[in-house]
Amino acid sequence: MGKSTVMIGRISNDKPSVAAPFDAQYQYVVSPPAPSSDVYTAKSCPDGTNWWGCAWGGRGGLVPHMQARAAQATYQGQPHPQTMVWSWFVIPHLTPNATWQDEVKAVNRVDLLTRYLNDYRFFLQKIGTSHDMIDLEADFWGFARGTGDVTKVPAQVTAAAPNDCGNQENSVAGLARCLISMTHKYAPDATAGLHLTCWDWPGNEQKCARDYVALGAKNADFLVGEVEAVDAGLNALPENGGHSSFWSEKKWSAQLAYWKTMAEAAGKPIVVWQIPVGNMRQNNTPYHYQDDKVDWLFSHMDQVASAHVAALLFGQGSDKSTTIETDGGNLFAKTIAYQNSGGTPLK
């Protein structure tokens, strides 16, 4: 992915672009697909259109806008371009108010999957020859695994994209392989990774690895892992379940071993996404919740690299979580010190 050391990235935001020498920034792409292909070239989106491509002037203007922001990033007054990372999260919006079962059923409808793959193709064409990274569909592969063998969960792949994916099987595995293949066809300098969603992985790592190989992980460029979605202090509130999500050394050891297993099964590195940014100097009030992930990761980078982790992407996963701007400068300071040290080589 262009670096020989573990990359450090953050959620997209104007304010922190100059505060630390980040390597990457990530942006969600979240909406239903375009209602029709006519919107791709329309001068403006019809009133009320809920589509990611309507932002920044329509016609997919979000992509060049964010690419320019990443490419023009600076640090200490000097150019410091960042890699653009996209979190493609569209399947949940194929049907209104979808349950996880609805999401899995939706890809077996030709009309919905055609719109979806048309939208992904358009997105890739907007990326063009940029060296962007694409995180494919958090959660969905886990939902599909929950219904059975991913090579047998039906999806209307060949009918939805006969020219691009006519040689793929009509299953969720075929859909995953289709998305990877389309990425390499339409955005040849971009990279794509399947989001790791194996909620049953403790004690079941080999089953997870087999499922992801079946999904086409060996054809992808990386895999995307995650930790907790929100700060531990926020998770501890009674209204959020009141459970502890501070991580022990034992928990970290198991997590790193899992990522290493998945990376070696696929032959691809791990990108860790949406890591909460709280720290123990926060006071557990909105936007200032405690967590331990940032400090632990930066103090154990050799172990992180040994698990074949190639990038750490930091950012809040929910409203009221600690943000990069409200953590007291901790992530900025850790990133600056890490980059000044020369970084940790990939393994």
pLDDT digits 0-9 by tens, 15-70: 656 899 999 999 999 999 999 999 999 999 999 899 999 999 999 999 999 999 99
pLDDT tens per residue, range 152-176: 999 999 999 999 999 999 999 999 9
Does the model's pTM come out above 0.85? yes
Q: Provide the pLDDT for residue 154.
A: 98
For the chain, domain boundaries: 7-95+197-340
Q: In b/e form, how buried is each residue of 65-78, taking b as 16+ CB within 10 angstroms? A: ebbebbeebebeee
Dump pLDDT digits (tens) for 91-131. Answer: 999 999 999 999 999 999 999 999 999 999 999 999 999 99
Percent of the chain with pLDDT over 90: 93
What is the predicted pLDDT for the residue at 33?
98
Residue 111: what pLDDT? 98
Helix or strand holding residue 176 (H, E): helix 172-186
Residue 183, CA distances (Å) to 106, 123, 210 in order: 22, 10, 23
- Please write the tens of the pLDDT for every residue from 240-289: 888 889 999 999 999 999 999 999 999 999 999 999 999 999 999 999 99
- A 10 A CB-CB count for 113 gives 23
Predicted local distance difference test score (pLDDT) of residue 16:
59
Alpha carbon distances (Å) from 342 to 7, 232, 234, 336, 345: 11, 30, 34, 10, 9
Percent of the chain with pLDDT over 70: 99
Supply the pLDDT for residue 2. 81
